[in-house]
Amino acid sequence: MATLYLIFIIFLGGAILTYYAGKLGSVLQDIIFLATILGATSLFYAGVHINDFMSFNPGGITLTWGINYFGWLFSLIVLGLGSLAAVYSVGYMKGKKRRGYFYFNFILSIMAMLGILVSQDLISFFIFWEIMTWSSYLMVIYNGKDDQKLGLKYFIFSAIGAYAMLMAIVMVHSVTNTFLIGNMIEAYPQMSLSWQIWIPILFLTAFGVKAAMMPLHVWAPGAYSSSPMAYTSVFSGALSKMGIYGMVIILVTMISHLPQGIWFRETLAWLGGLTAALGTLWAIKQDDAKKLLAYSSIAQLGYIITGVAIGTELGLLAGLFLAVMHALFKGTLFMVVGAIEKQTGTTNFTEVTGLIRKMPWTFFSALLAIIALAGIPPLGGFVGKWMLYEALITSNHYLLVILIFFASTAAFLYCYKFLFGFFMGQEEKEWEHVKEAPATMVVPMVLMALFMAVLGSWPGIILNPINNGLVDLGFVSTYKHLWDTSILFNSWGNQVVLKPLLYSVVAIFVFFAIVLIWKGFKGTRYVSTKDISSSGEVPGENENLTFSLGFAQPFLRAVGPVMKRQIDRYYTEFADGLESFFEFLRRIYTGNGQTYAIYVFVFVVIVLLFKDVLF
């Protein structure tokens, strides 16, 4: 079991080595960085056995490390996405400043996330949780300055979450006298009712912050968009899943014991649904790709929270499958944005247009990722969406399913905006020089895109580990009764067969693509985007005909009343209120001896008057 130590030593040593190797040469730094991540990953999958725990006793506290099936599922997200993002980072960080800083924090983040998954006691869980928060905070302020206080906002919310978790840990310890998660779960049913309610609430606050759940999501758009894109793919893809990881454990092991657990579930599910709907609406409004994807992340995490919170087998399957899918497609999309940012220098839809012929592979992976995000068959996103809907319908959440449906239909608008804004539209002369991103950036994106396409027809690849994880948490196996390798069932027994669907989609598509033009693609001639029917006028070189400003204006007008106020505003008002309250308190200290004398006098009078009542 020493492999686990070795992995963490590799991570720590690699992080420090990478940081200092920058002085020797950037290539060496890249190599050490990649070797650390990839070496630790391969060591983890080769040498670590599932359900093999080990304990040690520093300072009289028993700490236990080890991984179960459920953690192993999430380790796929963390290490899989982490290594691909690491390869991507090498290309992305080429020629950028502060590479050592970036690599150091990147490795620490991956290590911390893996640490969360392997820690079976609350102390190491909390320590790794804090390392994760710190390293991601340092990434958010990568640019050195925190002008818009985005990093500060993230840090404040993380701190609130951390204190909540710490309080819960202390409460648990005061009852059970141990920090082991297993013991906590065992002791939970015997606790008093108010503790049974407060401990999950405190834990869920901590996890809800990381999972960007409403109303704790306000840090996410800023933090996601201001950290470097190579890290944001991990940030949004994997780091936010740690919240889901904790949430599932709390929901399944604690709340299901609670007689009033249904209220927890319903509140969480509705919060998830609202997060999805409002996140989608705000995503449609954004003109910056990073912001758009950040809000879209919030929305997608809303689906996952809903799926997890309703708590049926199908719901959990849906939520966890969507979690994996979200890691894949949102990781890809942030990588796409990073590639575009690197090649063009901007991520604004109103500036960049018509990159499809310049960056075809980036477009290809963005297209597949968007199809998966929108949940359109035959890609993997559909599997998760289908299971989520069926779970909601079969568990009698009729209004929630409509809310979720509204969110995912409205998501088409920002999906189209993303693809259209970057890749479609007029090809401007300004971007003529743009080339495809380097291979180290393209290969991870395309690999992930292809994996998404495979998951669309063979979701069993991921559903199997999810099933093992759920069995680990105490569910019965769902294999063959909710899913087979490429067949999905709902609990009413209706099914969707995925494999022939893929074949027929491809067959029909190829058939019509060939028949469409008898002469074939080569027979037709490419004409530039300036050669369009614009009433006979030939658009000038610098005439911008792209439709990118006020993109979905009519839709936003129709939903205008919902979007009048941001939750962010309430927090700001709360902070302002606190500030003025403290300002009032400060007035008490006038610095005048006479006033203080009056205070003393008043105090004495009050004490004398109310002495019977008070004492």
Q: Which of residues 551-570 bind another protein (CB under 8 A)?
A: 551-552, 554-555, 557-559
Measured in residues, the chain has a length of: 615
Can residue 585 be called a binding residue for another protein (CB under 8 A)? no
Window 388-407: residues binding another protein (CB under 8 A):
389-390, 393, 396, 398-399, 401-402, 405-406
3-state secondary structure of 427: coil
| 189 versus 360: smaller Cβ distance to another protein | 360
User: Is the bond into 215 cis (omega within 30 degrees of 0)?
Assistant: yes
Can residue 496 be called a binding residue for another protein (CB under 8 A)? yes
Q: State the burial class of residue 454 (Cβ atoms within 10 Å of its Cβ: 0-12, 13-18, 19+).
A: middle
Q: State which of residues 492, 588, 592, 594 lies at the interface with another protein (CB under 8 A).
A: 492
Tell me how far the alpha carbon of residue 532 is from its chain's centroid. Answer: 41
Q: State which of residues 76, 367, 443, 473 lies at the interface with another protein (CB under 8 A).
A: 367
3-state secondary structure of 288: strand
| 396 versus 594: smaller Cβ distance to another protein | 396
Distances (CA, A) of 140 to 220, 223, 225, 338: 11, 6, 8, 15
| 538 versus 614: smaller Cβ distance to another protein | 538
Number of residues in contact with another protein under rule CB under 8 A: 80
CA distance 171 to 93: 44
Kindly write down the DSSP assignment for every residue of 459-472, as one continuous string: THHHHHHHHHHHHH
The answer to whether 169 and 198 are in contact (CB under 8 A) is: no
Using the contact rule CB under 8 A, the part of the chain among 232-240, 332-340, 433-441, 493-501 near another protein is 493-501
Kindly write down the DSSP assignment for every residue of 327-375, as one continuous string: HHHHHHHHHHHHHHHHHHS--BTTT----TTTSHHHHHHHHHHHHHHHT
Output b/e per residue, 506-524; b: 16+ Cβ within 10 A. Answer: eeeeeeeeeeeeeeeeeee
Q: Which residue has the tokens 């439709």?
A: 547
Q: State which of residues 177, 524, 542, 594 lies at the interface with another protein (CB under 8 A).
A: 524
- Min. distance of Cβ 552 from another protein in angstroms? 5
- Min. distance of Cβ 44 from another protein in angstroms? 36
- Min. distance of Cβ 361 from another protein in angstroms? 13
From residue 418 to residue 457, the character string flagging contacts with another protein as x (rule: CB under 8 A) and all else as - is -xx--xxxxx------------------------------
Can residue 351 be called a binding residue for another protein (CB under 8 A)? no
- Min. distance of Cβ 366 from another protein in angstroms? 11
- Min. distance of Cβ 534 from another protein in angstroms? 8
Using the contact rule CB under 8 A, the part of the chain among 14-22, 227-235, 382-390, 434-442 near another protein is 382-390
- Min. distance of Cβ 380 from another protein in angstroms? 13
Q: State which of residues 42, 528, 566, 590 lies at the interface with another protein (CB under 8 A).
A: 528
- Min. distance of Cβ 363 from another protein in angstroms? 8
- Min. distance of Cβ 506 from another protein in angstroms? 9
| 160 versus 393: smaller Cβ distance to another protein | 393
- Min. distance of Cβ 558 from another protein in angstroms? 4
**CB atoms closer than 10 angstroms to residue 194:** 8
Q: State which of residues 134, 142, 198, 412 lies at the interface with another protein (CB under 8 A).
A: 412
Can residue 538 be called a binding residue for another protein (CB under 8 A)? yes
Q: State which of residues 521, 574, 596, 610 lies at the interface with another protein (CB under 8 A).
A: 521
Window 246-275: residues binding another protein (CB under 8 A):
none
Q: State which of residues 146, 490, 568, 571 lies at the interface with another protein (CB under 8 A).
A: 490
Distances (CA, A) of 138 to 130, 133, 570: 12, 9, 26
| 95 versus 554: smaller Cβ distance to another protein | 554
Q: Which residue has the tokens 């895109």?
A: 449
CA distance 407 to 390: 16
Using the contact rule CB under 8 A, the part of the chain among 148-156, 232-240, 451-459, 511-519 near another protein is 511-519
- 591 — alpha (psi -120 to 50), left (phi > 0) or beta? left
User: Is the bond into 378 cis (omega within 30 degrees of 0)?
Assistant: yes
Can residue 385 be called a binding residue for another protein (CB under 8 A)? yes
Q: Which residue has the tokens 């599997």?
A: 383
Can residue 382 be called a binding residue for another protein (CB under 8 A)? yes
Is the CA virtual torsion 181, 186, 192, 196 positive or negative? positive
The answer to whether 60 and 71 are in contact (CB under 8 A) is: no
| 523 versus 591: smaller Cβ distance to another protein | 523
Can residue 416 be called a binding residue for another protein (CB under 8 A)? yes
3-state secondary structure of 539: coil
Q: State which of residues 138, 171, 181, 505 lies at the interface with another protein (CB under 8 A).
A: 505
Query: What is the CB-side half-sphere exposure of residue 11 using CA atoms within 13 A?
Result: 26
Window 44-83: residues binding another protein (CB under 8 A):
none
Can residue 386 be called a binding residue for another protein (CB under 8 A)? yes
> For residue 80, what are its two tokens?
């899989």
Q: State which of residues 20, 56, 163, 547 lies at the interface with another protein (CB under 8 A).
A: 547
Output b/e per residue, 572-606; b: 16+ Cβ within 10 A. Answer: eeeeeeeeeeeeeeeeeeeeeeeeeeeeeeeeeee
| 518 versus 584: smaller Cβ distance to another protein | 518
Please state whether beta strands 63-65 and 54-56 pair in parallel, antiparallel, or not at all (unpaired).
antiparallel
- Min. distance of Cβ 426 from another protein in angstroms? 4
